[in-house]
Structure 1
Amino acid sequence: MRALIRSLWRLAACQRGATAVEYGLILALICLAVIGAISSVANKTVSMWNNVATEVSAH
């Protein structure tokens, strides 16, 4: 039991794991921003093509 507690204490004190988690969070935020930007551009593009189709059908 003491060995488990020591292992957990060393894991909590390790800085390399914390850095990896921070990089993971930064990467996740960047991915969310990219997905949001692509979604916005996609919606505008679909709207544009719908307007083109409406205009072509009207003539």
Structure 2
Amino acid sequence: MEGNMLKKFIKNEAGATAIEYGLIAAGIAVAIAVVVFALGSKLNTLFSNINTLLP
């Protein structure tokens, strides 16, 4: 009985798939954060310059 349950547990890949999707989402979130951090000051300067040009 226990051997059969162990085989089912080893063959079950649903948890692994969820973890993989979680890691992909975390990687995308980190990439977005890096881009926003890198471009944040440049965008702030750009919008400040545009704001000074507007009447």
Give yes or no for TM over 0.5: yes
Give the deviation of 1:11 after TM superposition. 4.7
Q: Which runs of 5+ in 1 are unaligned?
A: 1-5
TM-score, normalised to structure 2's length?
0.60
Whether 2:43 is the aligned partner of 1:39: answer no
Q: Which runs of 5+ in 2 are unaligned?
A: none
Residue 28 of structure 1 is matched in structure 2 by 22
Q: Percent identical across equivalent pairs?
A: 17
Question: What is the RMSD computed on CA atoms of the aligned residues?
Answer: 2.4
Give the paired residue count: 48
TM-score, normalised to structure 1's length?
0.57
Give the deviation of 1:46 after TM superposition. 1.9
Q: Which has the higher helix share?
A: 1
